[in-house]
Structure 1
Amino acid sequence: MQVNSNGFAVILITTSQDEESQLIARVLLEQKIAACVNIIPQINSLFWWKQSIDQEKESMLIVKTRVKLIDEVVRLIKEVHSYEVPEIIALPIIGGNCDYLEWIDHEVIPEEAE
């Protein structure tokens, strides 16, 4: 494993339905601000919402991108997401397979175009 010094991130997003997950994934990929989006269907989420504990079946998206693109990812997701307050959490990638990290870098829009 190599330490990442290129500024990559994983972004976690939940949605209420698979169609919305597919839409968000395609928008991010078509805009070239994500190299890969994994969709995990049917996760069980429990959370506080409007003073009560709610439970829902959701899908989770795992987005791989460059740290510098996080703001653009958040902006685009908020435009198309159905939730009033969508879960969008970015985590730095601190290391990993150098070949994979280089692939992420190659697949998203070039840094000079950001």
Structure 2
Amino acid sequence: MANIVIAQTTVNDEGKAYDIGRAAVEARLTAGVHIDARMTTFSWEKGAVQHERGYRLSFQTTTGKVAALKAWVHEQHPHDVPQWIVLPSVEASEEYLAWAVKETTAG
């Protein structure tokens, strides 16, 4: 049985975030995507703390689509090592699950 998951990545460019989000929905790899307003991130890179602005994309998809979505996002992503985190759902309504399954099924 399918279940809902939230898969997340980040990009530094607003236009690229919109392009990836829209295209993932059009490809039916995700039922929907939320793009969070610009955020600030700090991380270790190249031996020092780095500061960037970015956008988080949260894909609402099913367990059956995660692998395909991951491969697709990694192809589209501007970073060599994109952030990729999948958060399982503890609970989702039957109606929301049915919607996500319907919208991620080619048709």
| Equivalent position to 2:2, from 1, 6, 14 | 6
Distance across 2 between alignment mates of 1:56 and 1:93: 29
Equivalents in 1 of 2:105, 2:94: separation in Å? 19
What is the deviation of 1:93? 1.2
Q: Distance between the aligned counterparts of 2:55 and 2:36, measured in 1?
A: 6
Contact residue 28 and residue 103 of structure 2 kept, 8 A: yes
The answer to whether the aligner puts 1:90 opposite 2:86 as a matched pair is yes
Deviation at 1:97, TM superposition (A): 2.7
Q: More deviation in 68-77 or 96-105?
A: 96-105
- Is the strand fraction higher in 1 or 2? 1
Q: Among residues 95, 100, 107, which one is paired with 1:104 in the alignment?
A: 100
Stretches of 4+ aligned residues off by more than 4 angstroms: none
The structural deviation recorded for 1:6 is 3.1
Q: CA deviation at 1:98?
A: 2.5
Cα RMSD for the two superposed structures = 1.3
Q: How do residues 8-23 of structure 1 correspond to structure 2 at under 5 angstroms?
A: 8-23=4-19
Q: Which segments of 5 or more consecutive residues in structure 2 lack a partner in the other structure?
A: none
TM-score normalised by the chain length of structure 1: 0.86
What is the identity, as a one-letter code, of the residue corresponding to 2:92?
G
Q: Equivalent pairs: percent with the same residue?
A: 22
What is the total number of aligned residue pairs between the two structures? Answer: 106
Choose from 32, 54, 60 the match for 2:50. Answer: 54
Structure 2 letter corresponding to 1:63: F
Q: Deviations over 1:15-55 (max 9, x none)?
A: 00111111111221111010000101211111111211111
Alignment partners' CA distance in 1, 2:54 and 2:29: 23
